[in-house]
A and B are shown apart, each in its own frame.
Chain A
Amino acid sequence: MHFHDVWFIAIAVLWAGYFILEGFDFGVGILLPVLGRDETRRRVMINTIGPVWDGNEVWLLTAGGATFAAFPGWYAAMFSAFYLPLLLILVALILRGVAFEYRGKRDSASWRRRWDAAIFGGSLLPAILWGVAFGNVLHGIKLDAAHNYVGNFWDFLNPYSLLGGLATLALFTLDGALFLALKTTGDLRRDARRTARLTGMLAIVAGGGFLAWTELSYRAPGHTGATGAASVALATLAAVALIGAFAANLRGREGSAFGAAAAGIAAATAALFTALYPNVLPSSINAAYNLTVANASSTAKTLALMTVIACIFLPFVLLYQGWTYWVFRKRVTAAPQAQQPEPVSR
């Protein structure tokens, strides 16, 4: 196994981690106007992800940085090709991040209402666009011989990729609903479970449909052997896990449901990356212009160095991030004194 294969897997793991973790906090943001019918409920919802959302977002930055370091050709082609979608994602993530930190800093209903809108929009847009972007990566984009994108924005909106966007939207919303069911009490918990039923069905249909379409039409050609079988197996596993999450939610097993949904997102991400391999960004113009793990990667020296650094430090990251979830493991309730937002000290 080459180092570039190791890093292809590593980047798949980082994206899977990102989709699971920021997936649920996108979901909570998307459900804010749906389940947060009063200020107390909205505060409870936002505070379930309060201590962790920023750490979750670092998975994206690490995935981006790792792609730059391990596959500069991929990073350069993908980020310049998806120029406008990424700009929209950046605007969304900026507004959303500021919103979390600022909404409670001023005691004004209109101030909070605006930031709540930013949280909703800033969660909804990336939840859709990441799916559209991944759909286009699998689908292939108009790369020329120099690996520069020669298509336009509208080319990204093909039916397959749009289904990808719907799939990630449904999956992340499900993830968020299950997380809320696990982290809240009372009415909110009951409503979250009910929402998880609806979004669960949608996630199974859209996610399953997207994975099936991928396996049938967009798996890298020439790899119908071991990797092809692995991708089909992973896609099947993803579907089973999502159905399991749906069933567990029906039976009120919140921990199992959330765990199964996370496993489903991980398996689905793995299935997509396996289907993509050995390409990293196929060209829809000519297969000779495909970016692959081999022609997009850094030198073996850089990849070896990065492997050593990741093996040393990633365990620590997992350990302390896991510890945060342990510290804040209790369900979030509105304490009596927290019914009203704290007055700004004067």
Chain B
Amino acid sequence: MSVLELSRWQFGITTVYHFLFVPITIGLGFLVAGFETAWIRTGNDKWLRLTKFYGKLFLINFAMGVVTGIVQEFQFGMNWSAYSRFVGDIFGAPLAVEALLAFFLESTFLGLWIFGWDRLPRGMHAACMWIAATGTVLSAYFILAANSWMQHPVGSHYNPVTHRMELTSFVAVLTNPVQLGTFPHTVAGCFLTAGGLVTGIAMWHLIRRPADAGTIAAWRTAVKAGAITALAAAVAVIFTGDIQGKLMTKYQPMKMAAAEALYHTSQPAPFSLFTIGTLNGSKPTFQVTLPDLLSFLATGNLHAQVKGIDNLQSLYAQIYGPGSYIPVIPIAYWSFRLMIGIGLLAALISLIALWTVRRGRVPAPIAAGARVSGTRSLWSRLLLWAVLVLPFLPLAASSLGWIFTEMARQPWLVFGQMKTSQGVSANSAGEVLASVIVLTLLYGGLAVIEGGLMYSCARAGLPGEKTAPPAGEGEEAPLALVY
């Protein structure tokens, strides 16, 4: 494989992996902060138990997000040095500001939260989690602004003397229309992820039916909080995704055409749910299509024209010179609809979970080894499977969303300005191969460890402690040995 292919594989692997931990961290931080605040407000013990339980899962994830994030910052220079030179004047600033504004905030206040239980007044302790969670959202804003600039480079111009892009307006970079669609869509996706995780684990415990009433009440609360968060987030994801579709049609029409594998400009254009056969536009295939839907997704008008891949290719060849401007269509096509389908499935399961615990209800238990026949038992088992997969669905949808938006931008690295093939470092293939192998093995090993730890902590259930930790300035207490 060439340096270019290896570098792309590394970026894909490390970025998709990093973003498994990011959405959990962003969404769950706010939920844990909310649980702790509810505990302070009501004094009800169940909130503290939920804070501790989900707080632990949060920290296990946060650690992975932090350490894999370092790779993200370093690999622009390591693998993509030509890109770094070309865009540093614009792209570097959001990264530097992200570290200064967000990373310091997250790391410092999370350190205070982890070690501050007996050291800080309750209100201040909860405030630390709110601040850390705010830091994660700030971080998302700046890094997404950087990514949005690659999709639609605004606030900058090409300087032919220095052979690079140069900043004309940082405000324009931060208020990039693509960013204004991407940021809420991504953050809403994070809340869908965290809501799904909270709901899934709580439902699983409820179906296994804990012994005491207090624990059942706490898990029911968690299901409600998680499912309402997930459903609200799903609505936001749909609305912002719709806005993004229209922005994509405007700024990256090839990406929209690739999402549907629409080869020829159509008016109106249908949306296919799935296709069996080839996607290269030459052969008739079996498709289930919804008429006019693509026109609506792309423009908001059922009868509008949507540009096709072939038409755009000839247009781009005229503007940017000879070459292919078509991304890998099957990846774009499938990642786009799988993202939507899996995200909607997560919302549906959350809705069912919420319905199951309505008005004091508890899902029917499944005792280990019990052989109860009938539809009621079947329903319970289906529900158990559904809530087991629920935490993974939004993660899969997020990953597919990133794969779609990055892969369907190809061949561009910075749309209209730099192709991916021009951005790579002058390193040897051996070095990059070593890096891909080392990081993949390391990440794989850590995934097993992280997954095992998450599983055992999730399975262990709520901490049984009934007594609240001492409030106020614990001046006399020695520092608790947390690690």
Residues of chain A at the chain B interface (Cβ within 8 Å): 43-44, 46-47, 50-55, 57-58, 60-62, 64-73, 75-80, 83-84, 86-87, 90-91, 93-95, 97-98, 100-106, 146, 148-149, 298-299, 301-302, 305-306, 309-310, 313-314, 317, 320-321, 324, 327-328, 330, 332-335, 338, 344-346
| Known A43-B481, A90-B74, A101-B62; further 6 A-B contacts with Cβ < 8 A | A47-B482, A61-B73, A79-B81, A299-B167, A334-B478, A345-B461
Give B443-481 as 1s and 0s: 1 = Cβ < 8 Å from A's Cβ atoms: 000100110010011001101110000000000011111
Q: With the chains together, A208 CA to B99 CA distance in Å?
A: 33
Give the 3 A-B CB pairs with smallest separation, nearest first: A72-B88, A79-B77, A69-B92
Q: Of the candidates A62, A98, A332, which one forms a contact with B479 in the assembled complex, judged by CB atoms under 8 Å apart? A: A332
Q: With the chains together, A95 CA to B64 CA distance in Å?
A: 10
B78 within 8 A of partner (CB): yes
Q: Is the CB of A77 within 8 A of B81?
A: yes
Q: Is the CB of B460 within 8 A of A345?
A: yes
A90, chain B: closest CB distance, angstroms: 6
Question: With A75-B84, A97-B66, A101-B63 in contact, is A309–B97 under 8 Å at CB?
Answer: yes
Q: Is the CB of A51 within 8 A of B93?
A: no
Q: With the chains together, A72 CA to B435 CA distance in Å?
A: 22
Q: With the chains together, A276 CA to B89 CA distance in Å?
A: 23
Q: Is the CB of B60 within 8 A of A101?
A: yes
Q: Is the CB of B59 within 8 A of A324?
A: no
B166 within 8 A of partner (CB): yes
Chain A residues lying within 8 Å of B482, measured Cβ to Cβ, are 47, 50, 104
Chain A residues lying within 8 Å of B97, measured Cβ to Cβ, are 65, 309
Question: With A43-B483, A94-B70, A330-B478 in contact, is A84–B92 under 8 Å at CB?
Answer: no
Question: With A86-B78, A87-B435, A324-B111 in contact, is A65–B95 under 8 Å at CB?
Answer: yes
A36, chain B: closest CB distance, angstroms: 13
Q: Of the candidates B69, B110, B167, which one forms a contact with A301 in the assembled complex, judged by CB atoms under 8 Å apart? A: B167
Question: With A62-B104, A76-B84, A84-B434 in contact, is A98–B77 under 8 Å at CB?
Answer: no
Give 27 CB contacts A-B under 8 Å.
A47-B482, A50-B115, A51-B116, A52-B111, A54-B111, A58-B99, A58-B104, A62-B100, A65-B92, A65-B96, A69-B88, A69-B92, A79-B77, A80-B426, A83-B427, A94-B70, A94-B442, A102-B449, A106-B453, A298-B88, A309-B100, A327-B116, A327-B119, A328-B119, A332-B478, A334-B481, A335-B478
Q: Is the CB of B93 within 8 A of A72?
A: no
Q: With the chains together, A91 CA to B74 CA distance in Å?
A: 12
Question: With A57-B107, A94-B446, A321-B108 in contact, is A87–B99 under 8 Å at CB?
Answer: no
Q: Is the CB of B115 within 8 A of A62?
A: no
B114 within 8 A of partner (CB): yes
B433, chain A: closest CB distance, angstroms: 11
Q: Is the CB of A91 within 8 A of B479?
A: no
Chain A residues lying within 8 Å of B98, measured Cβ to Cβ, are 65
Q: Of the candidates B88, B100, B425, B479, which one forms a contact with A317 in the assembled complex, judged by CB atoms under 8 Å apart? A: B100
Q: Is the CB of B483 within 8 A of A70?
A: no
Tell me the nearest residue of chain B to A100, going by C-beta.
B483
Q: Is the CB of B438 within 8 A of A64?
A: no
Chain A residues lying within 8 Å of B164, measured Cβ to Cβ, are 72
Chain A residues lying within 8 Å of B427, measured Cβ to Cβ, are 80, 83
A101, chain B: closest CB distance, angstroms: 4
Q: Is the CB of A75 within 8 A of B70?
A: no
Q: Is the CB of B478 within 8 A of A58?
A: no
B76 within 8 A of partner (CB): yes
Chain B residues lying within 8 Å of A106, measured Cβ to Cβ, are 453, 456
Question: With A98-B63, A324-B112 in contact, is A344–B456 under 8 Å at CB?
Answer: yes
Chain B residues lying within 8 Å of A58, measured Cβ to Cβ, are 99, 103-104, 107-108
Q: Is the CB of A80 within 8 A of B63?
A: no
Most chain B CB within 10 A, of A51, A302, A305, is at: A51
B71 within 8 A of partner (CB): yes
Q: With the chains together, A54 CA to B95 CA distance in Å?
A: 18
B208 within 8 A of partner (CB): no
Q: Is the CB of A46 within 8 A of B483?
A: yes
- Report how many residues on chain B are interfacial, defined by Cβ distance under 8 Å: 82
B82 within 8 A of partner (CB): yes
Which residues, 34 to 87 on B, are CB-close (under 8 Å) to A?
A: 56, 59-60, 62-64, 66-71, 73-74, 76-79, 81-82, 84-85, 87
Residues of chain B at the chain A interface (Cβ within 8 Å): 56, 59-60, 62-64, 66-71, 73-74, 76-79, 81-82, 84-85, 87-93, 95-101, 103-105, 107-112, 114-116, 119-120, 164, 166-168, 170, 425-427, 431, 434-435, 438-439, 442, 446, 449-450, 453, 456-457, 460-461, 463-465, 477-483
B114, chain A: closest CB distance, angstroms: 7
A97, chain B: closest CB distance, angstroms: 4
Q: Of the candidates A67, A298, A321, which one forms a contact with B104 in the assembled complex, judged by CB atoms under 8 Å apart? A: A321
B69, chain A: closest CB distance, angstroms: 8
Chain B residues lying within 8 Å of A71, measured Cβ to Cβ, are 88
Q: Of the candidates B93, B120, B449, which one forms a contact with A327 in the assembled complex, judged by CB atoms under 8 Å apart? A: B120
Chain B residues lying within 8 Å of A44, measured Cβ to Cβ, are 481
Q: With the chains together, A58 CA to B69 CA distance in Å?
A: 11
Tell me the nearest residue of chain A to B464, going by C-beta.
A345
Tell me the nearest residue of chain A to B482, going by C-beta.
A50
Q: Is the CB of A80 within 8 A of B104?
A: no
Chain B residues lying within 8 Å of A61, measured Cβ to Cβ, are 69-70, 73, 99, 103
Q: With the chains together, A83 CA to B79 CA distance in Å?
A: 8
A82, chain B: closest CB distance, angstroms: 8
Chain B residues lying within 8 Å of A101, measured Cβ to Cβ, are 59-60, 62-63, 483
Tell me the nearest residue of chain A to B131, going by C-beta.
A320
Q: Is the CB of A51 within 8 A of B114?
A: yes
Most chain B CB within 10 A, of A44, A148, A327, is at: A327
Chain B residues lying within 8 Å of A66, measured Cβ to Cβ, are 96, 99
Q: With the chains together, A149 CA to B428 CA distance in Å?
A: 11
A345, chain B: closest CB distance, angstroms: 4
Q: With the chains together, A50 CA to B111 CA distance in Å?
A: 7
Chain B residues lying within 8 Å of A327, measured Cβ to Cβ, are 112, 116, 119-120
Q: Is the CB of B111 within 8 A of A345?
A: no
Q: With the chains together, A314 CA to B446 CA distance in Å?
A: 34
Q: Is the CB of B60 within 8 A of A102?
A: yes
Chain A residues lying within 8 Å of B96, measured Cβ to Cβ, are 62, 65-66, 68-70, 306
Question: With A50-B115, A321-B108 in contact, is A302–B70 under 8 Å at CB?
Answer: no
Tell me the nearest residue of chain A to B167, going by C-beta.
A302
B81, chain A: closest CB distance, angstroms: 4
Q: With the chains together, A302 CA to B439 CA distance in Å?
A: 33
Question: With A58-B103, A80-B78, A317-B100 in contact, is A50–B92 under 8 Å at CB?
Answer: no
Q: With the chains together, A14 CA to B59 CA distance in Å?
A: 27
Tell me the nearest residue of chain B to A60, going by C-beta.
B70
Most chain B CB within 10 A, of A43, A52, A90, is at: A90
Chain B residues lying within 8 Å of A80, measured Cβ to Cβ, are 77-79, 81, 425-427
Question: With A69-B96, A330-B479 in contact, is A79–B78 under 8 Å at CB?
Answer: yes
Tell me the nearest residue of chain A to B441, going by C-beta.
A91
Chain A residues lying within 8 Å of B56, measured Cβ to Cβ, are 105
Q: Is the CB of A83 within 8 A of B78?
A: yes
Q: Is the CB of A68 within 8 A of B77?
A: yes
B132, chain A: closest CB distance, angstroms: 11
Q: Is the CB of B67 within 8 A of A93?
A: yes
A221, chain B: closest CB distance, angstroms: 26
